[in-house]
Chains A and B, each alone.
Chain A
Amino acid sequence: MAHSFADADHLPNRRPGDPADPAGLPRQRRGTTPQMHGRYPDFNVMDDRDHWDPVTRAVLEQRVAPPPPCRFFTENEQRTLAALFDVMLAQDAEPRVPVLEMVDAKLYAGQLDGYRYETMPADDRTMQLVAQHLEGLADLDPDGRHARVKAFADGELHWEGLDASLAWKVATRLAVSAFYSHPWAFNEIGFRGPAYPRGYMRRNMGPGGTEPDEPKEAFGLDPVQDIGG
């Protein structure tokens, strides 16, 4: 059943129970999205790369290239944090945005975000401690992993020497900053990315106005009707 998404019944605040299973979304036909589902199956942001200024193009081309292996986290930490990021970002199948490797590269380079809470260590140390406290996460079954991450998100974990609620903020900030910087995520959400120097058609005038090259939403299945049951 086609679903236009003009209605909002697919949104988590507007439906009871768990979020809709994304398996009902269209498969990506062009380019890549994380897990190959999205709303814009014929949109690939990298197709526009020749229109971007060379500095921006180089940054995004490097970002879609396979990242170097981890150099900051130990193998144990990598196993645990990979499981954490997968649940946090609902990356349950390939292709995955390599969030662990991206976070590792940032911390290995010593990049910080300009502040830390007075009760917390710096971000790099925080993530090492999170990995230690969540050790064993990777060995749980999917339901067990989800339950443990949910307890982390809900502030129900209490760790010696680390404020788990603030640690959740640090971990999620690092995770979404990596995931939603990736062109595959742009494809999934229909974000057209860099637009310099070419720009857009002089904006979409008024609600609903679209320009000819705008990514088109497309839907195979109604996630409410077809997935929930």
Chain B
Amino acid sequence: MPRGHPFRDPVPSWNRSALLLDVHRRGIPHLERMARYDDDDEVDMVIVGAGAGGSTLAQRLARRGWRIVILESGPFWDPDRDWVSDEAGSHKLYWTAPRVIGGSDPVELGKNNSGHGVGGSMVHYAGYAPRFHPSDFETRTRDGVGADWPIGYAELRPHYERIERELPVAGQNWPWGDPHSYPQAPHPLSGAAEVAREGARKAGIAMRVGPVAITNGVFGNRPHCIYRGFCLQGCKVNAKASPLVTHLPDAIAHGVEVRADSHVARVEIDERGRCTGVTYFHDGTERFQRATIVVVAGYSIESPRLLLNSTSARFPNGLANHNDQVGRYVMVQGAPQVAARFPQLAHQYKAPPPEVCSEQFYETDPSRGFARGFSIQTVGPLPIAWAEHVLADGHWGHALREYMRDYNHWSTLGLLCELLPQPENRVTLADEHDSHGLPVAHFSYSQCDNDRANIAYGKQVLERIWEAAGAQDILTIDRYAHLVGGCRMGAFPDSSVVDADHRAWEVPNLFVCDGSVMPTQGSANPALTIMALASRLADRLADKRVGASPAARARSSGEGALA
């Protein structure tokens, strides 16, 4: 294309993944040509986890010449071969190994929030890709709750803009938070979403179409969405964004090795307290990958678990855990769903679940009696999820079957309520062991009064919308969505695990790059922000703007920036 041509190539120059895919097949082509590194080869970086954080970081740094291995516990998916348009058949997409949950409000894991395999949880997320609001980075200062981040919105903004072009994101111009527009136009709406949007309009609540990371038009070799509604079961079309289609093709083309079926057991350190690499299980044998830098990107349950399992004489309570911060401040969003019944057919399965949103209630409004807020989003439960919804409202037997037969008359809205970070909402190690003999995670979760008030208020708003829409009946399920926190970033080592550059305060060449670094969660789905954080970290590492850590300075070793 000649210079100055007014047409902007939809596939950005800094990430050509969409052009590296095959338009007739779904898996990443030419994997037989992927780079392979020896365990003894000290690579520049080993990343634990091929999800949103790890894959984005690898793609960026590979383009700057870094030699990188990603170790992923789960399989390397080929959607044509491995994925099915079927709820029960998608069980393998989730982290189903044992985990233990507790606290006064336990959070169910598995299919709800935990991925397994190359692409991570974005393989089965709905596809919503909202930004955080500027307020999310300073809730302590503004609202007296939660925590301030050591970085502000302005530092992430250019990365949001880049990632939105890479996924790409489709939606209306966005009026909330930092107002912005999207690279692709909003998708058409299903009948189920139309009735929700109309109800909101009548109730005086603004909604917008999007933002969803699902192709709506020309984007390299990624096909247009076909609106079949199986976003949560892995997109067989390659229309919905996940690292498997958005970042790993470009990463692999630039020399990254993604080593699947490789479960990392421990991060190893030397006598100086620096990481030397990771011990992992592959094909039943224990192996060790040497690396100059170790990045943990296993998300809010597995990243803390890995650090807690990485004990040594120097770190008897787990790596980088002298201040007992690893595993704390894990957050989930309150995500109740309220479904409404209409005389006409709505067919809520015949569309991607993510269609329209409102962030009108996102910020603190003192008149509501609690801090922070929530967002409202459409969801589109398939039959098993719909049955769980009906069951949660107390119906079984003939009543369950009756509501299930009524499926096509229903439309469902969900909330994402910002629940506050609390130190006792944490991951620890359970007495139980997994198939590798490693202690599994115990996740304890309890709501605070602000959380309960937020969820209760939000559910009333949903009921108001449905009442305005003329609903004949309503069914409600209380649930949670998403996970963030557990290795949070901060300005001080006594109240955080990593610094503003994602570097562990106590280990100079150990980084965490996933949702676990977030000090707050807003009312936004976390995937876009995880990718934006990884993109920012990559810039800083590649530009050598990550300075010596306090630990390194304390040793006065004379080492400057990282290797």
Q: Which of B194, B228, B404, B409 contacts A199 (CB 8 A)?
A: B228
Which residues of chain B are within 8 angstroms of A31 by Cβ–Cβ distance?
none
The complex places the Cα of A141 from the Cα of B386 at a distance, in Å, of 31
A177 contacts B by Cβ under 8 Å: yes
Contact of A111 with B91 at beta-carbon distance under 8 Å, contacts A10-B402, A88-B396, A122-B98 already known? yes
The complex places the Cα of A190 from the Cα of B404 at a distance, in Å, of 10
Q: Which of A53, A114, A119, A191 contacts B96 (CB 8 A)?
A: A114
- Could you tell me if B403 and A203 are in contact, using CB atoms closer than 8 angstroms? no
Contact of A200 with B350 at beta-carbon distance under 8 Å, contacts A116-B101, A206-B194 already known? yes
A175-199 vs B, CB cutoff 8 Å, 1 = contact: the mask equals: 0111111000110111111111101
- Could you tell me if A8 and B472 are in contact, using CB atoms closer than 8 angstroms? yes
- Could you tell me if B402 and A8 are in contact, using CB atoms closer than 8 angstroms? no
B251-292 vs A, CB cutoff 8 Å, 1 = contact: the mask equals: 000000000000000000000000000000000000000000
A143-172 vs B, CB cutoff 8 Å, 1 = contact: the mask equals: 000100100010000000000000000001
- Could you tell me if B228 and A22 are in contact, using CB atoms closer than 8 angstroms? no
The complex places the Cα of A89 from the Cα of B395 at a distance, in Å, of 10
The complex places the Cα of A227 from the Cα of B419 at a distance, in Å, of 47
A204 contacts B by Cβ under 8 Å: yes
Q: How large is the interface on A (under 10, 10 to 19, 20 to 34, 35 or more residues)?
A: 35 or more
- Could you tell me if B100 and A6 are in contact, using CB atoms closer than 8 angstroms? no
Which residues of chain B are within 8 angstroms of A19 by Cβ–Cβ distance?
397-399, 402
- Could you tell me if A8 and B398 are in contact, using CB atoms closer than 8 angstroms? no
- Could you tell me if B398 and A194 are in contact, using CB atoms closer than 8 angstroms? no
The complex places the Cα of A13 from the Cα of B108 at a distance, in Å, of 27
- Could you tell me if B83 and A55 are in contact, using CB atoms closer than 8 angstroms? yes
B188 contacts A by Cβ under 8 Å: yes
> Within B75-128, which residues are at the interface with A (CB < 8 Å)?
80-89, 91, 94-102, 106, 108-111, 114
Which residues of chain B are within 8 angstroms of A204 by Cβ–Cβ distance?
190-191, 345, 347, 350
Number of interface residues, chain B, beta carbon within 8 A: 77
Nearest-neighbour CB distance to chain B for A60, whole angstroms, equals 7
B94, B101, B347, B382 — which one has the most chain A CB atoms within 10 A of its CB? B347
Nearest-neighbour CB distance to chain A for B104, whole angstroms, equals 12
Nearest-neighbour CB distance to chain A for B137, whole angstroms, equals 31
- Could you tell me if A181 and B396 are in contact, using CB atoms closer than 8 angstroms? no
Which residues of chain A are within 8 angstroms of B406 by Cβ–Cβ distance?
5, 10-11
Nearest-neighbour CB distance to chain A for B516, whole angstroms, equals 18
Contact of A117 with B409 at beta-carbon distance under 8 Å, contacts A122-B98, A186-B383, A193-B85 already known? no
Q: Which of A88, A115, A186 contacts B100 (CB 8 A)?
A: A115
- Could you tell me if A114 and B111 are in contact, using CB atoms closer than 8 angstroms? yes
B442 contacts A by Cβ under 8 Å: yes
Nearest-neighbour CB distance to chain A for B393, whole angstroms, equals 8
B473 contacts A by Cβ under 8 Å: yes
Which residues of chain B are within 8 angstroms of A6 by Cβ–Cβ distance?
343-344
Q: Which of A25, A89, A177, A196 contacts B384 (CB 8 A)?
A: A177
With contacts A210-B345, A217-B408 known, what are 16 further pairs, Cβ within 8 A? A12-B395, A13-B475, A20-B398, A22-B401, A53-B236, A89-B396, A116-B99, A176-B400, A177-B387, A188-B401, A191-B408, A193-B85, A194-B84, A200-B228, A203-B350, A217-B345
Q: Which 10 A-B pairs have the closest CB atoms?
A: A114-B110, A181-B88, A194-B85, A199-B226, A8-B472, A118-B102, A176-B387, A6-B343, A195-B228, A208-B344
Q: List 20 A-B contacts (CB under 8 A).
A: A22-B402, A25-B405, A55-B81, A113-B96, A114-B95, A117-B102, A122-B98, A176-B384, A176-B400, A177-B88, A186-B383, A189-B383, A189-B404, A189-B405, A191-B407, A197-B236, A200-B227, A203-B189, A204-B350, A217-B408
Interface residues of A (CB under 8 A from B): 5-8, 10-14, 18-22, 25, 38-39, 52-53, 55-56, 59-60, 63, 87-90, 111-119, 122, 146, 149, 153, 172-173, 176-181, 185-186, 188-197, 199-200, 202-210, 214, 217
